[in-house]
Amino acid sequence: MTEELFVDRQRGAGFMRGSSSEGAPVTVEVRDSIAHVVMRRGERGNPIDLVMACALLDAARVCRRANPRVVLLRGEGHSFCVGGDLRDFSSVDVENRRDHLISVTDALHDALRIFASMEAPLITAVHGSVAGAGVGLAAAADLTIASADAVFRLAYTRIGYSPDAGVTWWLPRLVGPKRATELLLTNPRITADEAAAMGLITRVTDGETLIDEAEQLADQLSHGATGAFGATKHLVAQGLCSGLDAQLDRESRSLAAAAASPEGIEGVAAFLAKRSPRFPHPTEG
């Protein structure tokens, strides 16, 4: 395996990892406080095998260390992510397959945990086939933009598998438990417009403008209040599995902390002065 480190002029670093013969399955580059994470096995549809799962975990760790304001995740090639690499899984002896799948999902799930715990919003830009764990990656994002050609399919039960990649956590919260169960049991083909209508993704755009729109959104958020973004996305996640009283208490404490933070002070000062805010990064406070 080879590794290469990129250093951003303003903040953070990027990371490449992969075999010298195949290249890096995932790359990270931080530019202007935006971490660009790219899955680069596009010729195969960016399937999730152990190498890809570990590379995504490495990428998440690099993002956590770099502490960007925004993370933008996308996939090269004709598809965002076709899900688990079934050829890889079936090549493992049956007696070792259980342990192999645990290793794959442990790495992938740790990557998702890191992205979810960061203050930086996670944006995914998806296109082409979005299946299995690819749906999990799309659903895990705070904001998901899809090209009009994107097609979503859960596909797990169709091959006798159960879901992973947080699908059974995110999907019921996005589309409702009844609809989520229906999608997981019947595996329909879901168009981008249908995914937007049911709340699985944020919006649909033309395929030719997908990356531009995702980067514009990332740039917009990179000038915002990262600490407030982080507090907000964590409150939303906690509120989905919390009682009202506990959530009201969380909101009160979070708002009070924000008001006393450098971001909150700058935001109010800019509003009163009728100027654009210049939010400091939380680590600069």
CATH number of the domain encompassing residue 84:
3.90.226.10
Higher pLDDT, residue 94 or 23: 94
Q: Tell me: do 66 and 113 sit in the same domain.
A: yes
**Same-domain pairing of 188 and 119:** yes
Q: Are residues 126 and 216 in the same domain?
A: yes
The predicted-structure confidence for 205-233, as pLDDT tens digits, reads as follows 998 899 999 999 999 999 999 999 999 99
Decide if pLDDT at 235 tops 90. yes
Give the model's pLDDT for residue 9. Answer: 29
Say which residue the tokens 């699985």 belong to: 200
Q: Which amino acid is at 267?
A: G
| pLDDT value at 188 more than 90 | yes
Residue 92 backbone dihedrals phi, psi, to 5 degrees: -85, 135
Contact 71, 117 (CB under 8 A): no
Examine the fold and report which residue of 203, 222, 241 is the final residue of a domain before the chain moves on. 222
Three-state SS at 128: coil
Distances (CA, A) of 25 to 5, 213, 254, 280: 15, 24, 38, 33
**Would you state the pLDDT for residue 10?**
32
One domain for residues 259 and 189: no
| pLDDT given for residue 282 in this prediction | 63
* CATH code of the domain covering residue 242: 1.10.12.10
Q: Which range of residues forms the domain containing residue 262?
A: 226-284
Q: What whole-number distance in Å separates Cα of residue 248 and Cα of residue 36?
A: 35
Structure tokens at 212: 């531009």
Statement to judge: residues 234 and 274 lie in one domain? yes
Statement: residue 21 has pLDDT above 50: no
Are residues 235 and 172 part of one domain?
no
From 275, 260, 126, select the one nearest 195 (Cα to Cα).
126
Residue 260, helix vs strand vs coil: coil
Domain boundary (174, 193, 222) is at 222
Question: Tens digit of pLDDT for each residue in 53-108?
Answer: 999 999 999 999 999 999 999 999 999 999 999 999 999 999 999 999 999 999 99
Could you give the strand order of the β-sheet that contains 190-191, starting from the edge strand earlier in sequence?
A: 129-131, 151-153, 190-191
pLDDT at 14: 42
CA neighbor of 120 nearest in space, from 6, 10, 33, 199? 33
Average pLDDT (5-18) is 38
Same domain, 84 and 123: yes
Identify the band that residue 22 occupies on the pLDDT scale cut at 50, 70 and 90: low
Do 87 and 63 reside in the same domain of the chain?
yes
pLDDT at 7: 33
Question: Is the same domain home to 212 and 238?
Answer: no
Domain count, the chain: 2
CA–CA dist 153, 82 (Å, integer): 9
Mean predicted lDDT score pLDDT of the chain: 90
Same domain (yes/no): 125, 194: yes
63, 174: one domain: yes
What tens digit of pLDDT does each residue of 127-182 get?
Answer: 999 999 999 999 999 999 999 999 999 999 999 999 999 999 999 999 999 999 99
* 231 and 206, same domain (yes or no): no
Domain final residue pick, 182, 207, 222: 222
